[in-house]
Amino acid sequence: MKSMLKQTAAVLVLGLLALGTAEKAHAGGTAAGTTVTNTATLNYTVGGVGQTSQSNSASFTVDRKINLTVSHADGAIVTINPGQATASLKFTITNTGNSKMSFKLSSVDLAASSTTPFAAPNNLSNKTTASAGAYTDLAKSSQVVASLVPDTPTTVYIIVDNLPLSLADGDILAYALKAQAVYEDGTTVITNNLLDTSNHYGATVNVYNVLADDKDAYNDDSKNDGIGADRDAFKVLAPVLSITKNATTISDPVNLTTNPKNIPGATVEYLVTVQNAGSIAANGVTITDSLPTASVTYVNAWTSPDNATWTAVPAGSYVAPTLTVIFGTINGSGGKMYLKYDVTIN
Amino acid sequence: MNHLSMKKIAAALLLLAVCATSGLAADNSLKLVSKAEKEVTVTRDGKKEAKLVPVEKALPGEVVLFTNHYTNTGSTPAEEAAITNPVPQHMVYVDGSAFGAGTTITFSVDKGKTFDLPANLTKTVKGKKRPARADEYTNIRWTFTSPLPPGKEGDVGFKARLK
Protein backbone atom coordinates (compact mmCIF):
# COMPACT_ATOMS: atom_id res chain seq x y z
CA MET A 1 0.00 0.00 0.00
CA LYS A 2 2.78 2.33 0.94
CA SER A 3 4.59 1.81 -2.34
CA MET A 4 1.38 2.26 -4.31
CA LEU A 5 0.79 5.61 -2.69
CA LYS A 6 4.31 6.64 -3.59
CA GLN A 7 3.75 5.66 -7.18
CA THR A 8 0.54 7.63 -7.44
CA ALA A 9 2.25 10.69 -6.08
CA ALA A 10 5.09 10.35 -8.57
CA VAL A 11 2.70 10.08 -11.51
CA LEU A 12 0.75 13.10 -10.33
CA VAL A 13 3.87 15.24 -10.20
CA LEU A 14 4.86 14.10 -13.64
CA GLY A 15 1.41 14.89 -14.97
CA LEU A 16 1.46 18.37 -13.49
CA LEU A 17 4.90 19.09 -14.86
CA ALA A 18 3.97 17.96 -18.32
CA LEU A 19 0.69 19.87 -18.22
CA GLY A 20 2.51 23.02 -17.19
CA THR A 21 4.85 22.73 -20.14
CA ALA A 22 2.01 22.09 -22.54
CA GLU A 23 0.02 25.10 -21.32
CA LYS A 24 3.04 27.38 -21.56
CA ALA A 25 3.51 26.48 -25.19
CA HIS A 26 -0.08 27.45 -25.96
CA ALA A 27 -0.81 30.20 -23.49
CA GLY A 28 -2.62 32.31 -26.08
CA GLY A 29 -4.59 29.29 -27.28
CA THR A 30 -5.74 28.24 -30.70
CA ALA A 31 -5.67 31.20 -33.07
CA ALA A 32 -8.90 33.12 -33.68
CA GLY A 33 -10.53 32.12 -36.96
CA THR A 34 -9.34 28.52 -36.85
CA THR A 35 -12.01 26.01 -37.89
CA VAL A 36 -12.29 22.91 -35.73
CA THR A 37 -13.93 19.96 -37.46
CA ASN A 38 -15.14 16.66 -36.07
CA THR A 39 -15.88 13.64 -38.24
CA ALA A 40 -16.62 10.12 -36.98
CA THR A 41 -16.51 6.88 -38.90
CA LEU A 42 -18.75 3.88 -38.32
CA ASN A 43 -17.52 0.45 -39.42
CA TYR A 44 -19.73 -2.60 -39.29
CA THR A 45 -20.50 -5.78 -41.14
CA VAL A 46 -23.68 -7.09 -42.56
CA GLY A 47 -23.60 -10.79 -43.38
CA GLY A 48 -19.83 -10.75 -42.94
CA VAL A 49 -19.28 -7.91 -45.43
CA GLY A 50 -17.60 -4.79 -44.18
CA GLN A 51 -19.45 -1.48 -44.43
CA THR A 52 -18.41 2.07 -43.64
CA SER A 53 -20.49 5.12 -42.81
CA GLN A 54 -18.99 8.55 -42.48
CA SER A 55 -20.63 11.21 -40.36
CA ASN A 56 -21.14 14.78 -41.41
CA SER A 57 -18.48 17.28 -40.33
CA ALA A 58 -19.49 19.01 -37.15
CA SER A 59 -17.42 22.17 -37.13
CA PHE A 60 -17.10 25.52 -35.44
CA THR A 61 -14.84 28.55 -35.66
CA VAL A 62 -12.56 29.66 -32.85
CA ASP A 63 -13.44 33.19 -31.74
CA ARG A 64 -11.14 36.01 -30.70
CA LYS A 65 -10.21 35.83 -27.06
CA ILE A 66 -8.91 39.21 -25.93
CA ASN A 67 -6.84 39.14 -22.81
CA LEU A 68 -3.70 40.78 -21.47
CA THR A 69 -1.55 41.19 -18.42
CA VAL A 70 -0.03 44.47 -17.33
CA SER A 71 2.54 44.24 -14.56
CA HIS A 72 5.08 46.58 -13.03
CA ALA A 73 8.59 45.51 -13.95
CA ASP A 74 10.54 47.51 -11.38
CA GLY A 75 11.75 45.18 -8.64
CA ALA A 76 11.61 47.91 -6.04
CA ILE A 77 10.16 51.37 -5.69
CA VAL A 78 11.90 53.76 -8.10
CA THR A 79 13.81 56.47 -6.30
CA ILE A 80 13.92 60.02 -7.60
CA ASN A 81 15.31 63.35 -6.45
CA PRO A 82 13.68 66.75 -6.46
CA GLY A 83 14.47 68.63 -9.65
CA GLN A 84 15.35 65.50 -11.62
CA ALA A 85 14.84 66.10 -15.35
CA THR A 86 13.13 62.81 -16.14
CA ALA A 87 12.27 59.53 -14.44
CA SER A 88 10.43 56.43 -15.57
CA LEU A 89 8.37 53.54 -14.27
CA LYS A 90 8.75 50.26 -16.12
CA PHE A 91 5.85 47.95 -17.01
CA THR A 92 5.42 44.78 -19.02
CA ILE A 93 2.41 44.17 -21.25
CA THR A 94 1.69 40.65 -22.49
CA ASN A 95 -1.03 39.73 -24.95
CA THR A 96 -2.54 36.55 -23.53
CA GLY A 97 -5.31 36.31 -26.12
CA ASN A 98 -5.39 34.22 -29.28
CA SER A 99 -5.03 37.01 -31.82
CA LYS A 100 -2.70 39.92 -32.45
CA MET A 101 -3.93 42.96 -30.57
CA SER A 102 -3.11 46.65 -30.24
CA PHE A 103 -3.26 48.30 -26.86
CA LYS A 104 -3.86 51.99 -26.19
CA LEU A 105 -1.91 53.21 -23.17
CA SER A 106 -2.83 55.75 -20.55
CA SER A 107 -1.47 56.67 -17.17
CA VAL A 108 -3.37 57.64 -14.06
CA ASP A 109 -1.89 60.01 -11.50
CA LEU A 110 -3.07 58.33 -8.33
CA ALA A 111 -4.55 59.97 -5.27
CA ALA A 112 -2.71 60.30 -1.99
CA SER A 113 -4.41 57.34 -0.31
CA SER A 114 -3.60 54.90 -3.10
CA THR A 115 -1.98 51.54 -2.54
CA THR A 116 0.96 50.50 -4.67
CA PRO A 117 3.06 47.34 -4.86
CA PHE A 118 5.68 49.11 -2.77
CA ALA A 119 4.16 51.63 -0.45
CA ALA A 120 0.88 52.48 1.17
CA PRO A 121 -0.50 54.86 2.00
CA ASN A 122 1.13 57.57 -0.02
CA ASN A 123 2.50 60.91 0.93
CA LEU A 124 1.89 62.90 -2.18
CA SER A 125 1.95 66.51 -1.09
CA ASN A 126 3.77 68.15 -3.98
CA LYS A 127 3.54 65.93 -6.97
CA THR A 128 0.79 67.57 -8.97
CA THR A 129 3.17 69.85 -10.81
CA ALA A 130 4.98 66.88 -12.37
CA SER A 131 3.71 65.98 -15.83
CA ALA A 132 3.17 62.31 -16.56
CA GLY A 133 2.62 60.39 -19.74
CA ALA A 134 2.71 56.76 -20.79
CA TYR A 135 5.03 55.94 -23.63
CA THR A 136 6.33 52.83 -25.30
CA ASP A 137 10.02 52.17 -25.24
CA LEU A 138 10.73 55.71 -24.13
CA ALA A 139 9.70 56.99 -27.57
CA LYS A 140 7.51 59.84 -26.57
CA SER A 141 5.56 60.00 -29.81
CA SER A 142 3.61 56.79 -29.41
CA GLN A 143 1.10 55.74 -26.79
CA VAL A 144 -0.14 52.62 -28.56
CA VAL A 145 1.47 49.20 -28.54
CA ALA A 146 0.64 48.15 -32.09
CA SER A 147 -0.39 44.61 -33.11
CA LEU A 148 1.22 42.82 -30.21
CA VAL A 149 1.78 39.11 -30.91
CA PRO A 150 0.36 36.73 -28.27
CA ASP A 151 2.72 35.60 -25.51
CA THR A 152 5.46 38.09 -26.38
CA PRO A 153 5.93 40.54 -23.50
CA THR A 154 6.72 44.13 -24.39
CA THR A 155 8.11 46.83 -22.12
CA VAL A 156 6.52 50.25 -21.75
CA TYR A 157 7.26 53.16 -19.45
CA ILE A 158 5.47 55.94 -17.68
CA ILE A 159 7.79 58.90 -17.95
CA VAL A 160 7.61 61.82 -15.60
CA ASP A 161 9.44 64.97 -16.65
CA ASN A 162 10.57 68.05 -14.73
CA LEU A 163 10.21 66.81 -11.19
CA PRO A 164 9.58 69.83 -8.99
CA LEU A 165 12.18 71.01 -6.49
CA SER A 166 9.42 71.15 -3.92
CA LEU A 167 9.22 67.36 -3.64
CA ALA A 168 9.88 66.34 -0.07
CA ASP A 169 11.98 63.49 1.22
CA GLY A 170 9.80 60.37 1.51
CA ASP A 171 7.06 61.53 -0.88
CA ILE A 172 5.54 58.72 -2.94
CA LEU A 173 4.41 59.45 -6.48
CA ALA A 174 2.13 56.63 -7.58
CA TYR A 175 0.81 55.95 -11.07
CA ALA A 176 -1.34 53.29 -12.73
CA LEU A 177 -0.68 52.18 -16.28
CA LYS A 178 -3.73 51.10 -18.26
CA ALA A 179 -3.64 49.27 -21.58
CA GLN A 180 -6.89 48.92 -23.51
CA ALA A 181 -7.54 46.55 -26.42
CA VAL A 182 -8.19 48.49 -29.65
CA TYR A 183 -8.27 47.75 -33.38
CA GLU A 184 -5.27 48.37 -35.61
CA ASP A 185 -6.10 52.10 -35.91
CA GLY A 186 -5.04 52.48 -32.28
CA THR A 187 -8.26 54.20 -31.23
CA THR A 188 -11.31 52.01 -31.91
CA VAL A 189 -12.24 50.34 -28.65
CA ILE A 190 -13.37 46.72 -28.97
CA THR A 191 -16.82 45.84 -27.63
CA ASN A 192 -17.41 42.57 -25.83
CA ASN A 193 -19.35 39.79 -27.58
CA LEU A 194 -19.77 41.64 -30.87
CA LEU A 195 -19.08 39.94 -34.19
CA ASP A 196 -16.10 41.33 -36.07
CA THR A 197 -17.31 41.41 -39.66
CA SER A 198 -14.35 43.48 -40.91
CA ASN A 199 -11.74 40.74 -40.55
CA HIS A 200 -9.46 42.63 -38.19
CA TYR A 201 -6.04 41.30 -37.28
CA GLY A 202 -5.82 39.01 -40.28
CA ALA A 203 -8.97 37.00 -39.57
CA THR A 204 -10.35 35.36 -42.71
CA VAL A 205 -13.78 34.66 -41.25
CA ASN A 206 -16.13 36.58 -38.97
CA VAL A 207 -15.24 35.98 -35.35
CA TYR A 208 -16.72 37.20 -32.11
CA ASN A 209 -14.60 39.49 -29.94
CA VAL A 210 -14.69 38.19 -26.39
CA LEU A 211 -13.11 40.33 -23.69
CA ALA A 212 -11.74 37.66 -21.37
CA ASP A 213 -9.70 39.88 -19.05
CA ASP A 214 -10.06 40.00 -15.31
CA LYS A 215 -9.92 43.13 -13.15
CA ASP A 216 -6.53 44.13 -11.83
CA ALA A 217 -5.39 43.89 -8.21
CA TYR A 218 -6.21 47.55 -7.45
CA ASN A 219 -9.59 47.81 -9.21
CA ASP A 220 -8.17 50.29 -11.73
CA ASP A 221 -10.14 48.36 -14.37
CA SER A 222 -13.04 45.94 -14.46
CA LYS A 223 -13.55 42.36 -15.51
CA ASN A 224 -14.30 41.92 -19.24
CA ASP A 225 -13.53 45.54 -20.18
CA GLY A 226 -10.54 44.78 -22.41
CA ILE A 227 -8.29 46.80 -20.10
CA GLY A 228 -5.30 45.60 -18.12
CA ALA A 229 -3.71 47.73 -15.40
CA ASP A 230 -1.08 47.76 -12.72
CA ARG A 231 0.54 50.32 -10.44
CA ASP A 232 4.09 51.41 -9.78
CA ALA A 233 5.58 54.21 -7.73
CA PHE A 234 8.42 56.65 -7.27
CA LYS A 235 9.85 57.49 -3.88
CA VAL A 236 11.44 60.88 -3.41
CA LEU A 237 14.86 60.89 -1.79
CA ALA A 238 16.02 64.31 -0.69
CA PRO A 239 18.45 65.74 1.86
CA VAL A 240 16.84 67.58 4.75
CA LEU A 241 19.28 70.16 6.09
CA SER A 242 19.01 72.04 9.34
CA ILE A 243 21.41 74.67 10.63
CA THR A 244 21.93 75.80 14.22
CA LYS A 245 24.30 78.38 15.61
CA ASN A 246 25.48 78.57 19.21
CA ALA A 247 27.60 81.25 20.84
CA THR A 248 29.84 80.58 23.87
CA THR A 249 31.83 83.29 25.64
CA ILE A 250 35.22 81.82 26.32
CA SER A 251 37.11 84.74 27.92
CA ASP A 252 36.87 88.39 28.82
CA PRO A 253 39.62 90.93 29.68
CA VAL A 254 38.58 91.02 33.38
CA ASN A 255 37.57 87.46 34.36
CA LEU A 256 39.77 85.84 31.75
CA THR A 257 38.46 82.27 31.24
CA THR A 258 36.72 81.98 34.59
CA ASN A 259 33.02 82.71 34.16
CA PRO A 260 33.70 85.15 31.32
CA LYS A 261 31.10 87.82 30.55
CA ASN A 262 30.11 89.49 27.28
CA ILE A 263 31.92 92.72 27.84
CA PRO A 264 33.82 94.63 25.15
CA GLY A 265 37.02 92.78 24.38
CA ALA A 266 35.55 89.39 25.27
CA THR A 267 36.09 86.44 22.92
CA VAL A 268 33.02 84.59 21.74
CA GLU A 269 33.17 81.23 19.99
CA TYR A 270 30.48 80.47 17.41
CA LEU A 271 29.59 76.87 16.59
CA VAL A 272 27.50 76.35 13.46
CA THR A 273 26.04 72.85 13.10
CA VAL A 274 24.62 71.62 9.79
CA GLN A 275 22.71 68.35 9.98
CA ASN A 276 21.24 66.26 7.17
CA ALA A 277 18.24 64.31 8.45
CA GLY A 278 17.20 63.31 4.91
CA SER A 279 17.54 59.97 3.15
CA ILE A 280 20.44 60.89 0.91
CA ALA A 281 23.62 62.95 1.01
CA ALA A 282 23.51 66.65 0.30
CA ASN A 283 26.15 67.73 -2.19
CA GLY A 284 27.75 71.13 -2.65
CA VAL A 285 26.80 72.42 0.77
CA THR A 286 28.17 75.92 1.34
CA ILE A 287 27.77 77.93 4.51
CA THR A 288 27.84 81.69 4.38
CA ASP A 289 27.84 83.58 7.65
CA SER A 290 27.61 87.33 7.56
CA LEU A 291 29.14 88.88 10.67
CA PRO A 292 27.77 92.02 12.34
CA THR A 293 31.13 93.79 11.99
CA ALA A 294 29.88 96.91 13.81
CA SER A 295 29.81 94.94 17.04
CA VAL A 296 32.15 91.99 16.52
CA THR A 297 35.50 91.36 14.88
CA TYR A 298 36.44 88.11 13.25
CA VAL A 299 39.60 87.02 15.02
CA ASN A 300 41.06 83.74 14.01
CA ALA A 301 40.96 81.11 11.29
CA TRP A 302 37.79 78.99 11.23
CA THR A 303 37.99 75.27 11.92
CA SER A 304 35.68 72.44 11.17
CA PRO A 305 35.95 69.87 13.94
CA ASP A 306 34.49 66.39 13.94
CA ASN A 307 35.34 65.48 10.41
CA ALA A 308 33.85 62.00 10.59
CA THR A 309 31.39 62.75 7.84
CA TRP A 310 33.68 64.69 5.57
CA THR A 311 34.19 63.46 2.09
CA ALA A 312 36.56 66.34 1.40
CA VAL A 313 38.33 68.77 3.66
CA PRO A 314 36.21 71.92 3.73
CA ALA A 315 37.62 74.97 2.06
CA GLY A 316 36.71 78.50 3.04
CA SER A 317 37.61 82.13 3.24
CA TYR A 318 36.67 85.27 5.16
CA VAL A 319 36.03 88.36 3.15
CA ALA A 320 34.64 90.91 5.55
CA PRO A 321 31.95 90.71 6.65
CA THR A 322 31.22 87.26 5.23
CA LEU A 323 32.74 83.92 6.14
CA THR A 324 32.18 81.34 3.35
CA VAL A 325 32.92 77.66 3.94
CA ILE A 326 32.36 74.96 1.33
CA PHE A 327 31.41 71.76 3.12
CA GLY A 328 30.83 69.74 -0.03
CA THR A 329 28.94 66.58 0.83
CA ILE A 330 27.04 65.90 4.04
CA ASN A 331 25.85 62.34 4.31
CA GLY A 332 22.17 61.56 4.86
CA SER A 333 20.47 59.91 7.82
CA GLY A 334 21.86 62.31 10.40
CA GLY A 335 25.24 63.30 8.96
CA LYS A 336 26.61 66.46 10.62
CA MET A 337 29.30 69.04 9.89
CA TYR A 338 30.50 71.83 12.12
CA LEU A 339 32.00 75.25 11.63
CA LYS A 340 33.76 76.93 14.50
CA TYR A 341 35.19 80.44 14.67
CA ASP A 342 35.87 83.16 17.20
CA VAL A 343 34.99 86.83 17.33
CA THR A 344 35.79 89.58 19.80
CA ILE A 345 33.19 92.01 21.02
CA ASN A 346 34.00 95.57 19.97
CA MET B 1 -45.86 -30.20 -50.59
CA ASN B 2 -48.93 -28.08 -50.77
CA HIS B 3 -49.34 -24.68 -52.32
CA LEU B 4 -49.16 -22.86 -49.03
CA SER B 5 -45.82 -24.30 -48.01
CA MET B 6 -44.41 -23.48 -51.44
CA LYS B 7 -45.37 -19.89 -50.85
CA LYS B 8 -43.60 -19.94 -47.51
CA ILE B 9 -40.41 -21.25 -49.02
CA ALA B 10 -40.55 -18.62 -51.74
CA ALA B 11 -40.96 -15.90 -49.18
CA ALA B 12 -38.08 -17.24 -47.17
CA LEU B 13 -35.89 -17.41 -50.26
CA LEU B 14 -36.83 -13.87 -51.16
CA LEU B 15 -35.90 -12.70 -47.69
CA LEU B 16 -32.60 -14.51 -48.00
CA ALA B 17 -31.99 -12.78 -51.31
CA VAL B 18 -32.70 -9.38 -49.79
CA CYS B 19 -30.29 -10.14 -46.99
CA ALA B 20 -27.61 -11.19 -49.39
CA THR B 21 -28.05 -8.06 -51.51
CA SER B 22 -27.92 -5.71 -48.56
CA GLY B 23 -24.87 -7.52 -47.26
CA LEU B 24 -22.91 -7.30 -50.46
CA ALA B 25 -23.59 -3.71 -51.45
CA ALA B 26 -22.38 -0.74 -49.38
CA ASP B 27 -25.86 0.33 -48.43
CA ASN B 28 -24.79 2.63 -45.59
CA SER B 29 -27.92 1.69 -43.77
CA LEU B 30 -26.23 2.85 -40.55
CA LYS B 31 -26.45 6.61 -40.42
CA LEU B 32 -24.04 8.65 -38.33
CA VAL B 33 -24.64 12.31 -37.47
CA SER B 34 -22.03 14.31 -35.57
CA LYS B 35 -22.71 17.51 -33.67
CA ALA B 36 -20.66 19.90 -31.55
CA GLU B 37 -22.29 21.51 -28.52
CA LYS B 38 -21.28 23.30 -25.39
CA GLU B 39 -22.84 23.62 -22.01
CA VAL B 40 -24.15 27.01 -21.01
CA THR B 41 -25.85 28.05 -17.81
CA VAL B 42 -29.27 29.57 -18.34
CA THR B 43 -31.60 31.01 -15.75
CA ARG B 44 -35.14 29.73 -16.02
CA ASP B 45 -37.77 30.69 -13.44
CA GLY B 46 -34.99 32.03 -11.25
CA LYS B 47 -33.17 28.71 -11.28
CA LYS B 48 -29.84 28.15 -12.92
CA GLU B 49 -29.68 25.14 -15.16
CA ALA B 50 -27.20 23.72 -17.61
CA LYS B 51 -28.24 23.65 -21.23
CA LEU B 52 -26.53 22.31 -24.33
CA VAL B 53 -26.37 24.69 -27.25
CA PRO B 54 -24.66 24.41 -30.65
CA VAL B 55 -21.16 25.89 -30.55
CA GLU B 56 -21.47 29.42 -31.89
CA LYS B 57 -18.76 31.08 -29.89
CA ALA B 58 -15.70 29.11 -28.92
CA LEU B 59 -12.67 30.38 -27.06
CA PRO B 60 -9.44 28.63 -26.09
CA GLY B 61 -9.96 26.67 -22.91
CA GLU B 62 -13.62 25.94 -23.56
CA VAL B 63 -14.98 22.42 -23.41
CA VAL B 64 -16.99 21.16 -26.37
CA LEU B 65 -19.24 18.11 -26.31
CA PHE B 66 -19.07 16.08 -29.51
CA THR B 67 -21.95 13.65 -29.99
CA ASN B 68 -22.26 11.06 -32.75
CA HIS B 69 -25.84 9.85 -33.23
CA TYR B 70 -26.16 6.50 -34.96
CA THR B 71 -29.29 4.94 -36.46
CA ASN B 72 -29.65 1.60 -38.14
CA THR B 73 -32.05 2.57 -40.92
CA GLY B 74 -31.61 -0.78 -42.61
CA SER B 75 -33.61 -3.92 -42.19
CA THR B 76 -30.79 -6.13 -40.99
CA PRO B 77 -28.65 -6.17 -37.87
CA ALA B 78 -25.25 -4.50 -38.15
CA GLU B 79 -22.56 -6.70 -36.71
CA GLU B 80 -19.12 -5.88 -35.36
CA ALA B 81 -20.05 -2.21 -35.38
CA ALA B 82 -17.49 0.27 -34.17
CA ILE B 83 -17.40 4.06 -34.31
CA THR B 84 -14.02 5.76 -34.44
CA ASN B 85 -13.48 9.44 -33.91
CA PRO B 86 -10.16 11.25 -34.06
CA VAL B 87 -9.86 13.89 -31.34
CA PRO B 88 -10.29 17.01 -33.51
CA GLN B 89 -7.24 19.11 -34.28
CA HIS B 90 -6.62 21.94 -31.75
CA MET B 91 -8.52 19.98 -29.11
CA VAL B 92 -7.57 17.87 -26.12
CA TYR B 93 -9.66 14.95 -24.90
CA VAL B 94 -11.20 15.51 -21.44
CA ASP B 95 -10.33 12.57 -19.21
CA GLY B 96 -13.23 10.25 -18.48
CA SER B 97 -15.69 12.08 -20.72
CA ALA B 98 -16.32 9.43 -23.40
CA PHE B 99 -19.72 7.75 -23.17
CA GLY B 100 -21.66 5.23 -25.20
CA ALA B 101 -24.19 2.68 -23.95
CA GLY B 102 -23.50 -0.88 -25.00
CA THR B 103 -19.98 -0.15 -26.16
CA THR B 104 -16.44 -0.80 -25.06
CA ILE B 105 -14.51 2.43 -25.25
CA THR B 106 -10.85 2.27 -26.23
CA PHE B 107 -8.36 4.95 -27.09
CA SER B 108 -5.34 5.38 -29.30
CA VAL B 109 -2.17 7.36 -28.64
CA ASP B 110 -0.70 6.61 -32.09
CA LYS B 111 -3.19 8.35 -34.36
CA GLY B 112 -5.48 5.35 -34.65
CA LYS B 113 -2.98 2.62 -35.45
CA THR B 114 -3.73 0.75 -32.24
CA PHE B 115 -6.47 1.04 -29.64
CA ASP B 116 -6.58 -0.10 -26.05
CA LEU B 117 -8.20 0.56 -22.69
CA PRO B 118 -6.75 3.60 -20.83
CA ALA B 119 -5.00 1.40 -18.25
CA ASN B 120 -3.01 -0.38 -20.98
CA LEU B 121 -1.94 2.69 -22.92
CA THR B 122 1.64 3.83 -22.58
CA LYS B 123 3.73 6.57 -24.05
CA THR B 124 7.47 6.35 -24.54
CA VAL B 125 9.28 9.62 -24.00
CA LYS B 126 13.07 9.74 -24.31
CA GLY B 127 13.28 5.94 -24.01
CA LYS B 128 11.16 5.85 -20.86
CA LYS B 129 7.78 4.19 -20.86
CA ARG B 130 5.03 5.74 -18.76
CA PRO B 131 1.24 5.57 -18.58
CA ALA B 132 -0.37 7.68 -21.31
CA ARG B 133 -2.30 10.75 -20.21
CA ALA B 134 -5.80 11.50 -21.41
CA ASP B 135 -4.57 14.65 -23.13
CA GLU B 136 -2.39 12.45 -25.33
CA TYR B 137 -5.27 10.42 -26.76
CA THR B 138 -5.48 10.89 -30.49
CA ASN B 139 -8.49 8.73 -31.35
CA ILE B 140 -11.49 7.25 -29.60
CA ARG B 141 -13.26 4.02 -30.57
CA TRP B 142 -16.62 2.73 -29.44
CA THR B 143 -16.94 -1.00 -30.14
CA PHE B 144 -20.51 -2.27 -29.83
CA THR B 145 -20.70 -5.35 -27.67
CA SER B 146 -23.68 -6.79 -29.60
CA PRO B 147 -25.13 -6.36 -33.11
CA LEU B 148 -27.28 -3.30 -33.73
CA PRO B 149 -30.77 -4.44 -34.74
CA PRO B 150 -32.77 -2.54 -37.38
CA GLY B 151 -34.22 0.67 -36.01
CA LYS B 152 -31.65 0.84 -33.21
CA GLU B 153 -30.34 4.30 -32.51
CA GLY B 154 -28.23 5.92 -29.84
CA ASP B 155 -25.45 8.34 -28.99
CA VAL B 156 -21.77 8.00 -28.36
CA GLY B 157 -19.68 11.01 -27.56
CA PHE B 158 -16.90 12.75 -25.69
CA LYS B 159 -15.77 16.11 -24.44
CA ALA B 160 -12.67 17.94 -25.57
CA ARG B 161 -11.08 21.20 -24.55
CA LEU B 162 -10.05 23.78 -27.12
CA LYS B 163 -6.32 24.45 -26.89
Reported as a single tens digit per residue, the pLDDT across B107-161 is: 999 999 999 999 999 998 899 999 999 999 999 999 999 999 999 999 999 999 9
When scoring A12, A43, A46, A52 by the number of chain B Cβ atoms within 10 A, the one with the most, hence best to mutate, is A46
Q: What is the mean pLDDT of residues A161-180?
A: 84
* Average of per-residue pLDDT values in chain B: 85
Nearest CA-CA partner of A343 in A296, A301, A295? A296
Residue A194's closest chain B neighbor by CA? Answer: B57
Per-residue pLDDT band for B100 (boundaries 50, 70, 90) equals: very high
The least confident of A53-62, A67-76, A141-150, A321-330 is: A141-150
List CB contacts of A319: < 8 A, sequence separation 6 or more.
none
User: What class has domain B28-162?
Assistant: mainly beta
Percent of chain A with pLDDT strictly greater than 70: 82
For A168, list phi and psi in degrees, rounded to 5: -100, 150
Cβ of B162 and A29 within 8 Å? yes
For A263, list phi and psi in degrees, rounded to 5: -105, 160
Sheet holding A64-66, edge to edge: A64-66, A207-211, A194-196
Query: ω into residue A321 within 30 of 0, thus cis?
Result: yes
For A23, list phi and psi in degrees, rounded to 5: -65, -35
Per-residue pLDDT band for B44 (boundaries 50, 70, 90) equals: confident
CA distance B141 to B85: 6
For chain B, give every domain's residue range. Answer: 28-162
Enter the DSSP assignment of B20. H
CA distance B136 to A54: 24
| Predicted pLDDT of residue A212 | 94
Nearest CA-CA partner of A275 in A245, A232, A295? A245
Minimal C-alpha gap between B140 and chain A (Å): 9
Is B53 in the A-facing interface, judged by CB distances under 8 Å? no
| Predicted pLDDT of residue A139 | 39
Nearest CA-CA partner of B86 in B108, B69, B103, B70? B108
Give ipTM to 2 decimals: 0.79
| Predicted pLDDT of residue A248 | 93
Enter the DSSP assignment of A219. S
Nearest CA-CA partner of A93 in A161, A160, A180? A180
| pLDDT tens for each residue of A292-342 | 989 999 986 777 766 555 555 677 888 889 989 888 888 888 888 888 889
Is B65 in the A-facing interface, judged by CB distances under 8 Å? no
Cα B96-B98-B99 angle, rounded to 5 deg: 120
For B13, list phi and psi in degrees, rounded to 5: -65, -45
Minimal C-alpha gap between A156 and chain B (Å): 27
Cβ of B32 and A34 within 8 Å? no
pTM (2 d.p.): 0.74
Nearest CA-CA partner of A339 in A321, A322, A325? A325
A:15-44 residues touching chain B, CB 8 A cutoff: 15, 18-19, 22, 26, 28-30, 34, 36-44
Same fold yes or no, A64-236 and A241-345: yes
Domain A241-345 has CATH 3.40.50.11540: no
* CATH superfamily of domain region A64-236: Immunoglobulins (2.60.40.10)
Residue type present at position A216:
D
Nearest CA-CA partner of A284 in A322, A255, A312? A312
CA distance B56 to A63: 9
For chain A, give every domain's residue range. Answer: 64-236, 241-345
| Predicted pLDDT of residue A142 | 53
Cβ of A40 and B55 within 8 Å? no
Q: DSSP letters along A81-143, please? A: -TT-SEEEEEEEEEE-SSS-EEEEEEEEE--TT---SS-SS---TTGGGSEEEEEETTBTT--
Query: ω into residue A121 within 30 of 0, thus cis?
Result: yes
pLDDT at A185 over 50: yes
The least confident of A55-59, A217-221, B3-7 is: B3-7
pLDDT at B65 over 90: yes
